[in-house]
Amino acid sequence: MKWRSTLFLVVFLVMVFDFSSEIPVRLSWNHGVRTAIAGTKEVSDTYCARAVNLLEKQNKMLSRDLRQIKRELLLLKTELSRPGIKEVFAGIGYIFGIFGVSAYMKARAMNKQNRES
């Protein structure tokens, strides 16, 4: 039974708080209070619009910046994937190394042959 009473309490509280914004309007037969509330509503509306406007502007700026950064990243990636001077010399070194080792093997074999004969 306990959760049922808790649920009831929660529903009641929600209702109270939901209507609480209307309570002053309902209770007050005074015209001044009504206009005052209406005025604050308008003010908050303009604030909201301004804030939304600002946020949209910032969003636009941010997305533009992001696009630019992405573009730069892509550029950097292609730049990095392009072989540099390091790879060139590495390749030349490999080629000369391979032929050097094979020449060395050949020379050793020929030396051996000479010694045997």
Which residues of the shown chain bind another protein in the complex (CB under 8 A)? 81, 83, 87-88, 90-92, 94-96, 98-100, 102-103, 106-107, 110
Give the nearer residue to another protein in terms of CB position, either 73 or 103.
103
- In angstroms, what is the minimal distance from the CB of 81 to another protein? 7
Nearer to another protein, 44 or 102 (CB): 102
Cβ 88 to another protein, closest distance in Å? Answer: 6
Provide the 3-class DSSP secondary structure of residue 99: helix
Sign of the dihedral through C-alpha 104, 106, 108, 110: negative
Closer to another protein by Cβ: residue 2 or 86: 86
116 vs 20, 102, 104, 106, 108, CA distance in Å?
112, 21, 18, 15, 12
Q: How far is the CB of 58 from another protein (least distance, A)?
A: 36
